[in-house]
Amino acid sequence: MNKNIVIAHKHLLDGFKSLTPIKYSNIKINDYIRYFNNNELKYGGFVKFINLDKNYIVLINYNKNFSWSLQLNDPKIKMFIRTKASVDAKKKEMAKIYKQYKDGKLKECKK
């Protein structure tokens, strides 16, 4: 994979971590996958189904009500993952900060 391509799309991969084949066993339902196929960024989708024995996962785009399979053993695929756990942790942190703001413990910063 051409590193320049990843760098060109770096802003679209904020919050995502590179997913190497050795880490495929860490994929969980509702994780979000973005991937490059032939050096072209695909926005990906949420993991709906995992079959590591047959080396594929099923992704879904809930907005378009569309699902497709992604072959994990395809050498042209370079995957990036944002786990549901990391998204949940970020939401919890943001809720805590918002509560502090609502309770008057934080002040709005004006530029």
Q: Render pLDDT for 23-57 as a digit per residue (tens, 0 to 9).
A: 999 999 999 999 999 888 999 999 999 999 999 99
Whole-angstrom distance, CA of residue 44 vs CA of residue 29:
14
- Can you tell me whether residue 23 is helix, strand or coil? helix
Q: What is the pTM of this model?
A: 0.77
Rg (CA), the chain: 17
User: pLDDT, tens digit, for every residue of 58-104?
Assistant: 999 999 999 999 999 999 999 999 998 888 888 899 999 888 888 88
What is the distance between the alpha carbons of residues 5 and 1, in angstroms, rounded to a whole number? 8
CB atoms within 10 A of CB 65: 7
Residue 31 burial (10 A CB sphere; 0-12, 13-18, 19+): buried
Positive or negative, the CA dihedral 83, 85, 88, 93 is negative
